[in-house]
Each structure stands twice: as structure tokens, then as C-alpha cells.
């Protein structure tokens, strides 16, 4: 027998679908329910590698953590990784299968993936008591409905009830709720059970008359009003809002242990990927993390981080155009710390041969590390474990570039020369002992009297964050009604709201 299910849709992108999905997952697992997350199609440069070596969106990996289960490719069967304004790499069941333009994808390829997506969902529902699905963007994208496999397309095919989340902090939430339903076909509308208001500030009693009117207009109830809370984002799909950085900056933070703070500047390169690598730095008391795009902003930084990217050659050109490449070169000459991760590591090398990602051919790197990089068609997807600075380190790798290292000191399968460090390993800074040892080295090189806190647990902070999301659902949503939806589906007899979807 299939387990229950629910689709969390949104009036817009960034309405809070990922957070609400994670919160429902954590609430359910605390009730003893065996639950899994699911997102049929994700567009993100922020990805993760599962234990079986599959690449999925980081948001789904964090939702799996909310469920206290291992993430798998089944939870995010289609991942789109933008490579520019017009095309994306398509990752199917954790493996890249090619590059497609938006027109090519929506023009036919997407619909052909529906069977695979439904098979993955069915397998999860056969294994778990409940599967909480996350939509993408808005379900009322009328230009894309015909080929939709992530919103109402999957809800219709799998018989999932739908709750629509709206961000009231943006304004216009009632119009957004009504308009979302009214632009769906009659068949789709039958599955939309109701609404969840997200990020409400103030007195809920002032909102209740509007909720009553919305119920009268649509015949659909509101399943909860979630208050605005600082720092509740889990790993973002895209953008610069780093999840735990937000948590740390916007909540009570312990003062620095040492006399100085440590300033970290992250180069905001084009097509930046896995920017959550620096979350663990921001989680440390006394570490200030900021994203920069001007050379002068590196001047007072104690550590400069060049993060990963889906466009290494393009990002390298950007660093040069902005004068950041010269500023990084001066830092290296002065012995000031620089860390390159994945694409950032590749850029710090001497030479790049790329006939795969940019097809630019031979390109000179920054020439800081003794590394030559050749892009292979096969993508490296691994979960390595090793040691650095006397500490155990875990990470994950997602890259086409193959590094030929011919000098320097070994560092996490990359290398180190002086105070310039390079590695393909994402997530290494989440290993608490290694992070502290690395920050001590950086502080010494920068001449700062900074001391890492002895007890910061990055995994512990994540667990606290997920528990707070679960609390939000438990305390501010009608959980009995949500469970009835998950178990029994959308209520019968929901009214049609005209005009419906265009023919």
C-alpha cells in the first residue's frame, strides 16, 4: 500500500516552500512517522552528493536530514544546473545527461521525464509512511502547464493534495492565493486543499477577517499562519542568502573567544555554486563572512575564499575584469591566506584545458598553485574522507575538472603553497576539528588574536535549525488537518474558481 503524500506549492519562487517542507518533515518524524522529501525537478547550483554518488539539490539533502534519513537520488530525480542565461546541465537520477536550452527542455524533454519522476515518487511512497513533495516556482505558470512535472502535473498524476504557501512579507498574499487557484484548470483546482501563510508579522487576529473572506471566495481553508522568524532558511537553491550565516547573524551569538574577529571575504563569482561551503565559517563566533565583488573589498580580509562555480573560465575572466585577480595575486605574494574550493581551486592553478564546460580550450589560470586542470566529460561525484592539519575531514566532490598537481604540499587531494590552499572538496569546513585548526592557521598568518570556539558543532547547529522549523509547524499550523490531507487526500467538493486555466 502506498504511503500518504502532500505537495507544498507556492504563490511565487522563494515563498518558503523548502522551509515549510522541511518543517513538516521534521514535525512528522518527531511523531514517529517514517517520512521522506521529494522534489521532482529542481533548478539550482547548490547541490550535494549522496552516499551512492548521485548529485541532488542541497535543499532536498537538508530535507532528508529533517526526516533523519539518508538522501538518495529518488528524492530529486531531475536537477537543472544553469550554465548561463539560456542553457542548463540536466542531471537525471544523480548523473548528468547533457546540456539543454530552456526551449529544448520545455519543448519536449521535460514531459518525457514524467514517467521517471512518477516511478521515483511511487518507490518512495511504497517505502515510507508519507512523502512530502515540494513544488517549484508557482503552479499557475500557465505557459508551462502543458509540460509541467513538478507542480500540478505531478499532483494530478499521483493524486496528491496541494497546500499553497504565500509569503505575506512581500505583500499581496490574498490576491496571490486567489489568483493562483483561479488560473488552474478545474481538474487541478480539485487538488488544491488550501493555503499556508508564511512570514507573518504582528497580531494574527488582524489577519483572521481576511482569511475568512478568502475561505468564502475560494471554499478553501488556511492551514496555518507561520510567524516571521530570523534565520530559518535551510540551504538555499540559489542566491547569496547563506542559511546558517543568516541564523548566526540574526540571532544571539556568542562573543569571540579571542581578542580579535576574523574577516572572511567570499568572491561573488558568476554562476557561483555550493556557496553554503562558507556557512560553517559563519557559524563560528567571531568570524565575519561577507560576499564581495570589488578588489578594494579584499584589503581588510583575513581570508579570501574563491568558491565553486558552474563556469570556471567565465568566473576567471570576471575576476580579471574586476581587478580581483590582481588583488588576489598581491595577497599571495604577501603571504596572506587564500582558499580556493572546486572551481576556485581550478582558477588558482597554472593552466585550464576546457572543451566541456565553456569549450574555451586552453586558458591561463591565476598561476598561484602548481596545478594544471583538464575538463573531462565524465563528472566526478564522490564523498571523500581524509585528514588535514591533523584532523579527520569529510567532504563531497562535484566537478568535471581533473587536476594534475606537480608541487606544493598535499591538502585534501589538492595542494597548498604557503598560505594559498586549494581543494576540490566541498563541505570540508563542516568538520569541526579541521575547521578550528584551519582558522587557527589563518589567524596566525593574518596576525589576528582570534581563537576558535572550542565547542561549536556545525551538525548541532543544523539540528537546532531543523527543530525550530518543526516547532514552527507544530505550534502555528493545524497539524491534525495537515495529517488528514497527507493520509486521505484533498477534501471532496472543492468549488471551481473561474476563470480557470486558458484553453
Return the active site residues: 342, 426
Helix (H, G, I), strand (E, B) or coil at 314: helix
Cell numbers for 210, please give them.
481576511
Q: What is the DSSP string of 378-429?
A: EEEEE--EEEETTEEEE-BEEEEEEEEE-SSEEETTEEEETTEEEES-BSGG
What's the rounded Cα separation, in Å, for the pair 406 and 402? 13
Nearest to 471 by CA among 69, 165, 21, 24: 24
**∠ CA 469-45-87, rounded to 5°:** 135
CB 406 within 8 A of CB 372: yes
Report phi then psi at 230, rounded to 5: -70, 145
Cell numbers for 18, please give them.
523548502
DSSP 8-state symbol, 31: T
What's the rounded Cα separation, in Å, for the pair 249 and 278? 14
Q: Which residue has the cell 576539528?
A: 433
CA-to-CA separations, 292 to 180, 237, 240, 297, 299, in angstroms, rounded: 37, 20, 11, 6, 11
CB 88 within 8 A of CB 50: no
Report phi then psi at 131, rounded to 5: -125, 120
What's the rounded Cα separation, in Å, for the pair 214 and 140? 18
Cell numbers for 306, please give them.
574563491
Is the Cα torsion angle 256, 262, 267, 271 positive or negative in sign? negative
Amino acid at each position: 500500500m502506498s504511503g500518504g503524500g502532500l505537495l507544498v506549492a507556492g504563490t511565487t519562487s522563494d515563498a518558503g516552500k523548502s522551509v515549510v517542507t522541511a518543517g513538516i518533515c521534521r514535525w512528522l518524524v518527531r511523531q514517529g512517522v517514517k517520512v521522506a522529501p521529494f522534489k521532482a525537478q529542481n533548478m539550482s547550483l547548490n547541490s550535494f552528493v549522496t552516499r551512492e554518488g548521485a548529485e541532488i539539490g542541497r535543499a532536498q539533502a537538508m530535507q532528508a536530514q529533517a526526516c533523519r534519513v539518508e538522501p538518495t537520488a529518488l528524492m530529486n530525480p531531475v536537477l537543472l544546473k544553469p550554465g548561463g542565461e539560456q542553457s542548463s546541465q540536466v542531471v537525471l537520477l544523480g548523473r548528468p545527461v547533457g546540456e539543454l536550452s530552456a526551449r529544448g527542455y520545455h519543448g519536449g524533454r521535460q514531459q518525457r521525464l514524467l514517467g521517471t519522476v512518477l516511478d521515483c515518487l511511487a518507490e518512495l511512497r511504497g517505502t515510507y509512511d508519507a512523502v512530502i513533495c515540494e513544488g517549484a516556482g508557482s503552479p499557475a505558470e500557465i505557459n508551462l502547464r502543458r509540460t509541467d512535472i513538478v507542480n500540478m502535473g505531478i499532483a494530478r498524476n499521483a493524486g496528491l493534495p496541494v497546500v499553497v504557501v504565500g509569503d505575506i512579507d512581500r505583500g499581496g498574499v490574498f490576491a496571490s492565493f486567489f489568483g493562483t487557484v483561479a488560473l488552474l484548470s478545474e481538474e487541478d483546482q480539485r487538488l488544491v486543499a488550501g493555503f499556508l501563510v508564511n512570514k507573518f508579522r504582528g497580531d494574527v487576529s488582524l489577519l483572521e477577517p481576511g482569511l475568512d473572506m478568502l475561505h468564502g471566495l475560494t471554499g478553501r481553508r488556511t492551514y496555518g499562519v507561520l510567524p516571521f522568524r530570523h534565520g530559518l532558511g535551510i540551504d538555499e537553491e540559489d542566491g547569496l542568502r547563506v542559511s546558517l550565516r543568516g541564523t548566526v547573524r540574526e540571532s544571539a551569538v556568542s562573543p569571540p573567544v579571542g581578542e580579535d574577529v576574523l574577516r572572511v571575504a567570499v568572491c561573488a563569482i558568476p554562476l557561483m555554486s555550493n556557496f553554503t561551503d562558507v556557512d560553517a565559517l559563519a557559524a563560528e563566533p567571531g568570524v565575519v563572512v561577507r560576499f564581495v565583488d570589488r578588489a578594494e573589498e579584499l584589503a581588510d580580509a583575513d581570508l579570501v575564499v574563491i568558491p565553486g562555480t558552474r563556469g570556471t573560465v567565465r568566473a576567471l575572466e570576471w575576476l580579471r575584469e574586476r581587478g580581483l585577480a590582481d588583488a588576489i595575486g598581491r595577497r599571495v605574494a604577501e603571504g596572506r591566506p587564500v582558499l580556493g574550493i572546486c572551481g576556485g581551486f581550478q582558477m588558482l592553478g597554472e593552466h585550464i584545458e576546457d572543451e566541456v564546460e565553456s569549450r574555451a580550450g586552453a586558458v591561463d589560470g591565476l598561476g598561484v598553485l602548481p596545478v594544471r586542470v583538464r575538463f573531462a566529460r565524465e563528472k566526478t561525484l564522490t564523498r571523500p574522507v581524509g585528514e588535514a592539519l591533523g584532523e579527520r575531514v569529510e567532504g563531497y566532490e562535484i566537478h568535471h575538472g581533473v587536476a594534475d598537481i606537480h608541487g606544493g604540499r598535499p591538502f585534501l587531494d589538492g595542494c597548498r603553497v604557503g598560505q594559498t590552499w586549494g581543494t576540490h572538496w566541498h563541505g570540508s569546513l563542516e568538520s569541526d576539528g579541521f575547521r578550528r585548526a584551519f582558522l587557527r592557521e589563518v589567524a596566525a598568518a593574518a596576525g589576528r588574536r582570534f581563537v576558535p570556539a572550542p565547542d561549536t558543532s556545525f551538525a548541532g547547529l543544523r539540528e537546532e535549525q531543523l527543530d525550530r522549523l518543526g516547532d514552527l509547524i507544530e505550534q502555528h499550523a493545524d497539524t491534525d488537518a495537515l495529517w488528514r490531507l497527507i493520509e486521505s487526500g484533498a477534501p471532496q467538493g472543492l468549488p471551481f474558481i473561474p476563470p480557470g486555466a486558458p484553453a
